[in-house]
Amino acid sequence: MKKPLFLLIVFIIIILTAIALRLFGAEDTWLCQNGQWVKHGQPSDPQPTAACGLDNLSNLPSASPADNNSLPDVATATAEIIIFQPRPGTVVTSPLTVKGQARGGWFFEASLPVKLVDANNQLIVAHYGTADSDWMTPDLVPFTSILEFSTTATSGFLIIAKDNPSGLPEYDASISWPVNFK
């Protein structure tokens, strides 16, 4: 009689755990990648009807930089990430301060990858951006990165990537834009 009761209790615990994970899991959402809405997990919400990408900045949630000043000019943005500085095509020097906001899902342990490459896609420097506030949220989180570098290149790209500890390509996302070097 004790063995069936024990098995019943174990079965109930397993079922309750599965239900709790399904109800409270945060992996089910829609992500904007390369201008397209892509499922991440099994979202219960329907696919967003608003366009995603640079042509839809008006639908971004209101956000302010970490120092609580008014929202600065946006250099580059999608529904997932906003970059305030540097602006595309500007001349950058070392040390380069990068400021922006990214959805909490772009961070892992409060950081995300940031790198500079030259026009031939050769790495100049790879570093990370650090969340300036709580990163465990689906909301936009301010971040800062300071890149120290030396290059003879005259132009290249600044790339900010979604941290993807799983290594699975379906969770990759990044944004890049041109910069010039002095």
- Enter the pTM of the model: 0.59
How many Å separate Cα 111 from the centre of its chain? 9
pLDDT in tens, 58-103: 344 333 333 334 334 555 556 788 888 888 888 999 999 999 999 8
* CATH code, 2-181: 2.60.40.1930
Write the burial class of residue 12 (CB in 10 Å: 0-12 exposed, 13-18 middle, 19+ buried): exposed
Q: Evaluate the omega torsion of the peptide bond into residue 61 and state whether it is cis, within 30 degrees of 0.
A: no
The percent of residues above 90 in pLDDT, for the chain, comes to 27
Q: Domain residue spans in the chain?
A: 2-181
- Residue 72's pLDDT is what? 46
pLDDT of residue 22: 62
How far from each other are the two terminal CA atoms of the chain, in whole angstroms? Answer: 80
Residue 28 has pLDDT above 70, yes or no: no
